Every structure is written in structure tokens, then in C-alpha cells.
Structure 1
Amino acid sequence: MDTSYVILGASLAGAKAAEALREEGFDGPVVLVGDEPERPYERPPLSKGYLQGGTEREKIFVHPAEWYAEHGVDLRLGTAATAIDPAARTVTLADGSRLGWSKLLLATGSAPRRIPVPGGDRPEVVYLRRVGDSDRLRAALRPGARIAIVGAGWIGLEAAAAARAAGAEVTVLEVAELPLLRVLGREVAQVFADLHRAHGVDLRFGVQVAELSAEGVRLDDGTLVPADTVVVGVGISPNTALAEAAGLEVDNGVRTDRHLRTSHPDVFAAGDVANAFHPLYGRPVRVEHWANALNQPKVAAASMLGREAVYDRVPYFFTDQYDLGMEYTGLAEPGGYDRVVFRGDVAAREFIAFWLSGGRVVAGMNVNVWDVTDPIRDLVRSGREVAVDRLTDPAVPLAELAGSA
């Protein structure tokens, strides 16, 4: 049997998995396969610091270029995998060659959803996912440039903030009534609407895009939004085609157990593509954020080596827009909470928002308030009921409420 451990996806998750295998003492062959020409890099800077020019290109990479050879990792870039044969334990590559494996990790990530309108693939349209996309958009951000952004999600709003920082004119087009409405709910979504309007962004809600053209964005009511560059950020979809064709269980991502093992005992998944059973929630959870890609690979690597490891971290993500920095801890999905309460000064954008279900904190978001993610995480994990008057009182330590003081 081939003893190679093969990782598909030379991303943050793939690179951290290779690193974790070596740290766990695995000294066999490790092959890391990626279809991009760049070595593994982190994606958050592509819509944040790197896009704005504050983060140097070399800083986005997970490891120095020499790390892979020094650690015996066979890094194959610009190489797409086209098929997985679980019975033969092989991966077929685009050039027709095959790799044998004893354990396989899927870190294939996700891809931007294409907007299904005429002109959705025009050269003026940027789908911000890869470093080349960030380079293209960065070159377009200049004083007076007209930037239209379709979708008021995290990518769209971060791109809007970067564009305004560069002096561009920005219009954001969103089908919902507020930005991030499904993710944050009305109370907190309004904070982000107010933030962007205060920085001169033309926010248009409840609009439908009919066509993208060289002139800009045509709405379904005939209105033309002039634009030199159009950014589309309408969500991402997990890259599950290889797994599905291989007969693995796929449902909103590649389904895994709490050890990140798929329906095949020697195939694992991590990062955006993994819809992993989460012990805290008692169900599969797929999170499309950096923290999962950073932390899941260590558990996957340990599981690949036959060790007992469980992924049970509370979901976490962050954003930076203008003078607003925030961290979000937990999981508050539509229908999963019944109340939102605040601690601090919402008008000054220095506060913590809590999503509650039956008096229990299911998620917390700290905005320009720092060093509180640990007690927020402990509150979420504890599942205990909390008195709202104490939760919203800045004089009551969060650690005390979480029982971790």
C-alpha cells in the first residue's frame, strides 16, 4: 500500500494540515496539491490589508517558500485534481498522472457564486477570492474611480471600505433591506448600514441586478449604475465536485464526523468544504471563515494518524472596516435566537452585541471593544441562562457571567 498522505487544496487549511502532520511526528510522504500557481496564502488580507496596500505580499503566505522542501512536503502548484478513486486509493491529476494515498485530506475550499445575469463574466467584473483578483481590484482603486459592488456581505462591505479609503466612488447594491441582514439580524445590520453611509457609500437596498455591461450595472427597473469596475460578492459554494463524484457523503459541503473523517474511513475534510458534526450544537456545522481553516487541520492531522481528536471550537470570525473592528464568536442563525441586546455605546460604535435564545447567549460580537473574546466564548459554551440586566451592564465582568472568573 502507498504510504503517502495526500492533501488536496494548497490553501491555508492544506498548508496547516501539512504542518500539523509534521508536528505530530509523521515522517512519511506528504503531497500537497493546489490548482493555483501561488504557494498557500491566507485569504482575509485580500479584502482587507493587502487590498488597501498596508500588507506586503510576502506577509499573506502561510509559510516561507523554502518551508515545504525543508519539511519534506511535496508541493505541487498549478495542478488540479480531476478525480478521486477511493477503492484504488488514487487521485488523478489534470495531466493524467495519478497519486496513490493511504490517507487523503480534502481542503478544496470554496468558490465564489457567479451572478446569473448577462455580463456576469465580463472582464470588468471581479469575483474576489484569489490573490490575482485582489491585485486586479487594487489596481482599480484610485481617486474618482467608480466602483459598483453587488452584494452587501462581508466581502462586499470590506471591498467598499477599501475603495473609499482609496478615494473611489462606491455604490453597493443589495437585494435585502440591510447589509448582512441574514447573518446579523436587523439591529446589528443597521450599524453597518450607518457606518458605510457615514463614509460616503451609496447603499441601495431591495434592488435586483438585471445585467452587467461595460457601462456598469443595469437594475431590473432599468436604472443604470455607472461603474468602471464591478465587484460581485454574493456568497460562496463549497468545492464538493470531487467528493461527490467519488461517492462521499455531500450535503452543504463534505459531511464529516467530529473527528473530521468523511464517510470513507481514510478520507478527511477541513476548512470551507467541511460540513462537520459539532458536539456543542449536536449537528453538522459548516463555517466559511478563516478560523476554521486555521484550526481544523490540526484535528484532521491527528485523526489521520489514528489519534483521538475532536473539533469543537466555537465559531469565530472578524472584520475591519474604516475605524470599526469587530470579532464575532458563536453561531446565531435565523430562527436560532429570539433577542439581541447590547452592552456599551452603540452610537459610538463601541459595544458588544449578544444574541440570546431562551436567555442563553448563542453569539456575541465585540465592536471596538477588545480582549473579551474568551469570556464571550465561555458564555456561549456554558449554555447557562444569564440575567439580561447583568449582561448589558458594563460594570459586570463578562468572566463572572460565564463562570470563568
Structure 2
Amino acid sequence: MAEQDAKPSGPDLSQGVAFADLADGSLLLGHVGDEQVMVARQGTELFAVGAHCSHYHGPLAEGLLVGDTVRCPWHHACFSLRSGEALAAPAFSAIDCWSVEQRDGKIFVKEKRPAAAKPSSKLSGKALDKVVIVGGGAAGFAAAEMLRREQYKGSIVMLSNDDAAPVDRPNLSKDYLAGNAPEEWVPMRGDDFYSENGIELRLKANVASIDARAHEVVLSDGTKVDYDRLLLATGAEPVRLPVPGAGPSQIHTLRSLADSRAIIERAKSAKRALVIGASFIGLEVAASLRHRGIEVHVVAPEKRPMERILGPGMGDFVRALHEEHGVVFHLEDTVAGIAGSKATLKSGGSLETDLVVMGVGVRPRLELAEKAGLRIDRGLAVDAFLATSAPDIYAAGDIARWPDPHSGQAIRVEHWAVAERQGQVAAQNMLGLRQKFDAVPFFWSQHYDVPINYVGHAEKWDELLVDGDIAGRDCLVRYKQGGRTLAAASIYRDVASLQEEVAMERQAA
């Protein structure tokens, strides 16, 4: 997360800038007093808003203007230029809006405008007084926040089997694990957010079953919680492959704040680490442990890291990047067993290790949905409005398999921003707003100082086009099937990534 600039940059917008200097469809960074402000021009219309994304403080003036919205170049959050509202996660908080006027051939930014209250949603259909959310991750938090943002006044009960309030999970394998971010950065919101917004957050709450007919959620202690609308956002859990000889607590996985804390504690005395799996999470862990000065070996069965998702060129780049930072790969190999501090490989070699982390993927938590008789299809099947096969039950996040208008098929993805955006749309639909979930999937990954952004969804492709230089860390890679771009990965091509996202949206419209 970037810090606020010590001194504001750009022109003093209160003194005016020439209208002719701001081309149609462009963005201009300036300041009013000590505050950074961005001016946007769309035709003859002018807007002035806060210059930084409310998510990780990304520079909005380096983003993309789309209609009367602006998109952040870092993680594709979207803001209304008219109200400042955060229209799409991963940002939730609005940005400031300023009064702006044009006179004498110049643009002047005046005073900051007061935040506009959002009108209450007009509910349609059945009465809605009680919403229950099962899950305390990205989708669950986003749904609760959106319900209150839409001025829903009824009760919200969030049931989480975690012992911590919703956290910014991407940080757990990146800056927080690397030691670059304090723990106070990790929660999505402070504890007072839930009490101030009337959200009853029950931690360590294990849901045993759902009675869809009675509209009841039953906890493991027998407590029953009734609902008018229910959101299932149970997420996923790390896959644990059996490793002969390994003790039950010897191999770490990373999903929760407690998991990250445990790895950090073990890393304090570790000199050598073994990462099982060359997934995004596995390699982000490898990068974070290298930042801590720990020797890292990665063992994985594939020929190239992440080739199935990113293709051979990007896979080779990711491997080379990690090797530049001292990571040692043992590819096309697996761990055959662990005895004490020695890991034996299937190839016959062995590795000494003080810390073992497994990152080989996750599986959706579908048990509750299956027991409740909901339709399962390689995930929990939902329609375009994220409704399940049972009345008044919705689903969002890693468990949901939805009809994706961009790929033309039902898909399930495990991306943080997707889970948040689905939680937001599910909340709106529980309120009767009938919003289709049609967002283009997006995720980002960070390896040392190199970000990789990915928009779209391509399970396979017949053509891979590279614009730029992958090894030179300046590229956009398109994954195409039948001449249609299904996904695009990029390195330091932030605006191009946003443009690909918009193109995919328009292609499906």
C-alpha cells in the first residue's frame, strides 16, 4: 500500500488550467491545497475527484476513463465520477468529489462536495427483514457492506468459522507474509465497522446444516438462525496431499490469518524452506520467504510454473524471475516423504528443510450446499443473478459456478476480486434489484516487484499472441479461441489490461 505523497504534484487546479490542455477522454492529475485531485473530461462534461483509489491508493490518473467512471490501473476497482462511489471491488470506500467549473477558457476546481446519501433500494417480491451470510471471506464481507450501502435496514447475521474478522487475504501471502505490512493492514475493516453498521458477526460459528424449506440455518451447537434471504459464501479450503512421514502440523497451508501467522512464526528461526506446489499462492509464499532471507526450494510436478494458466512464455518468465531471487526449482518431481527435517523426492534426491508450505490449490466447500439438496455442477450452480436452485438462497465466491457471458459457458473461478464483486451483486439481488453478474473475471499476483494482471477466463486456447517482451517485463499476452480473445495477462501494461477488460465487456454485450 502506497503512502500519501508528501507534497502534492501537478498544477494547482484552484488557480485553473487551460481547457484546451485537457483532451476529450483524458485525465489530469493536480491538486487543491495539499490534496491531490484528478480532473476528467468526457466530451463537454468535466469531473473532479480524489486522485487515489481507496483500495491500495493506486494512481487513478494513470487509469482508464470509461463513460462517467474511472478504473484503477492496479486492481481494476471502478468509481463513479459523479458521486465518487466505489462501483466495483476491490475498492469499497468512495473517493471525494469536487465542484468544477469552466470559464474564460480555463478549468477551475472549487470546493469539495459533501458526500451524497444513497437512496434506499426499493424491494420487490417477498418481505426482507433477515439476511444470513454463511462465510466470513471476501464474498461475505462484500455482501454485508453492500446491503448497508443500499440502505437495507433489516438484520444481517454473518456466520464465520474463522477466529478472525474478514481479512484482506491477498496480503497474507504477499506484503504481510514478507514482513512489509503490519497486521493492522490485514483486516478488511476494523471491529467497529460491524457494530456501527449493525452487522452481527459471529466468529468460530460452525454451520451444520441448512433447512431450505424452513428457512433456517442450524449451527453445530444446535442453535437455529432463521432467514428471509441466505447467502452461501463458504469459500474454499487448501488441498492437502498426503506426504508419508509428515507430522500433522509439520506441513503448513495458507488460507487464513492464523495460517499466515503460523508461517511467520516458524520463519523467524527457519533457514531453509520447502514449498510444495508452483501455484500462484505457492510462488507468492516463496517470494515472501526469500524476502525474509530464507533459502527456498520449490517442488512441483509440472514442467513450467503456471503454464496451464499463463502459457509457456509467461511460465518460463515466472521461473526465471524466482531463480533471479535465489529460488531453486525441482520441477517434474514430487515429495515422496518427510522424515524429520529431511524431505525425500520421487526422483531420488533429498532436501533439508526447517519449514514446509503446501500450495497445490484449493477445493470449494460444498458440503452444506450438497446436504441442503442444492444443485451441484462442478461447484454450486447459480443463475445469472447468483440464485441457487432453492428459493431465497444465493451463492457467491469460490463455490459459485455461474453462466459467464464472456466465455459462453458456466465457470467457477477462485479470484479474490470476483468473490467480492459477486458478493456485491448477490446483495443487490437479495434486495430485489435484479442485477445480472456479468463482470469480466480479474486477478492479480505479485512476485517480488513484478505484478501480473489477468483479465478474462481461458481454460484452453488455440492461439496465444504476445504484444511486447515478456522477459523485458513489458507485455500483454492474449489467449484466444476461435479468433476470440478469452483472457489477457499483462506485466506493466496497466492501461492495456483495462482496455482488454472493457473490450471483453463490450464483446459480450
1:379 is matched with 503
Range that drifts further, 325-334 or 350-359: 350-359
Amino acid in structure 2 at the alignment position of 1:284: A
* SS across alignment from 2:161: coil
| Residue of 14, 33, 41 corresponding to 2:140 | 14
* SS across alignment from 1:66: helix
Q: Which has the larger radius of gyration?
A: 2
Q: 2:302–2:331: 8 Å Cα contact kept in structure 1?
A: yes
| Residue of 331, 337, 343 corresponding to 2:467 | 343
Higher relative contact order (CA 8 A, sep 6+): 1
C-alpha deviation, 1:145, in angstroms: 1.0
Matches within 5 A, 1:56-95: 56-95=182-221
**Shift in alpha-carbon separation, 1:120–1:111, aligned structure 2, 3 A:** farther
Report the Cα distance in structure 1 between the residues aligned to 2:197 and 2:176, rounded to whole angstroms. 28
1:224 aligns with 2:354: no
Report the Cα distance in structure 1 between the residues aligned to 2:372 and 2:344, rounded to whole angstroms. 41
Report the Cα distance in structure 2 between the residues aligned to 1:351 and 1:143, rounded to whole angstroms. 39
C-alpha deviation, 1:217, in angstroms: 2.2
Report the Cα distance in structure 2 between the residues aligned to 1:50 and 1:349, rounded to whole angstroms. 25
1:275 is matched with 401
Matches within 5 A, 1:4-403: 4-119=130-245, 122-141=248-267, 145-334=271-460, 337-383=461-507
* SS across alignment from 1:372: helix
**Shift in alpha-carbon separation, 1:301–1:121, aligned structure 2, 3 A:** farther
RMSD: 1.8
Report the Cα distance in structure 1 between the residues aligned to 2:470 and 2:308, rounded to whole angstroms. 20
* SS across alignment from 2:351: strand
Report the Cα distance in structure 2 between the residues aligned to 1:56 and 1:264, rounded to whole angstroms. 42
C-alpha deviation, 1:276, in angstroms: 1.5
Runs (5+) with no aligned partner, structure 1:
385-405
* SS across alignment from 1:272: coil
2:26 is matched with none
* SS across alignment from 2:398: helix
C-alpha deviation, 1:183, in angstroms: 1.2
* SS across alignment from 2:244: coil
C-alpha deviation, 1:235, in angstroms: 0.6
Report the Cα distance in structure 1 between the residues aligned to 2:375 and 2:327, rounded to whole angstroms. 43
Amino acid in structure 2 at the alignment position of 1:196: H
1:160-201 superposed Cα distances (whole Å, 9 cap, x missing partner):
111111111110001010111211122221111111112111
1:351-379 superposed Cα distances (whole Å, 9 cap, x missing partner):
11111223332211111232332211123
C-alpha deviation, 1:381, in angstroms: 3.5
The structure that is helix-richer by fraction is 1
2:47 is matched with none
Report the Cα distance in structure 2 between the residues aligned to 1:121 and 1:102, rounded to whole angstroms. 45
Q: 2:136–2:160: 8 Å Cα contact kept in structure 1?
A: yes
C-alpha deviation, 1:25, in angstroms: 2.2
C-alpha deviation, 1:258, in angstroms: 0.7
Q: 2:271–2:354: 8 Å Cα contact kept in structure 1?
A: yes
* SS across alignment from 2:221: coil
Amino acid in structure 2 at the alignment position of 1:354: R
C-alpha deviation, 1:383, in angstroms: 4.3
1:391 is matched with none
1:6-28 superposed Cα distances (whole Å, 9 cap, x missing partner):
00001121111111111222211
Amino acid in structure 1 at the alignment position of 2:395: A
Range that drifts further, 54-63 or 241-250: 54-63
Report the Cα distance in structure 2 between the residues aligned to 1:258 and 1:121, rounded to whole angstroms. 44
C-alpha deviation, 1:155, in angstroms: 0.6
Range that drifts further, 136-145 or 223-232: 136-145
C-alpha deviation, 1:382, in angstroms: 4.4
Range that drifts further, 341-350 or 298-307: 341-350
Report the Cα distance in structure 1 between the residues aligned to 2:190 and 2:427, rounded to whole angstroms. 21
Range that drifts further, 139-148 or 96-105: 139-148
Report the Cα distance in structure 2 between the residues aligned to 1:177 and 1:9, rounded to whole angstroms. 36
C-alpha deviation, 1:2, in angstroms: 8.8
Q: 2:387–2:393: 8 Å Cα contact kept in structure 1?
A: yes
- How many matched pairs? 382
Q: 1:148–1:170: 8 Å Cα contact kept in structure 2?
A: yes
Range that drifts further, 184-193 or 163-172: 184-193
Runs (5+) with no aligned partner, structure 2:
1-126
Report the Cα distance in structure 2 between the residues aligned to 1:325 and 1:143, rounded to whole angstroms. 29
* SS across alignment from 2:318: helix
Q: TM-score, normalised by structure 1?
A: 0.90
Report the Cα distance in structure 1 between the residues aligned to 2:178 and 2:501, rounded to whole angstroms. 31
Percent sequence identity over aligned pairs:
37
1:226-256 superposed Cα distances (whole Å, 9 cap, x missing partner):
1111110111000000000010011222110
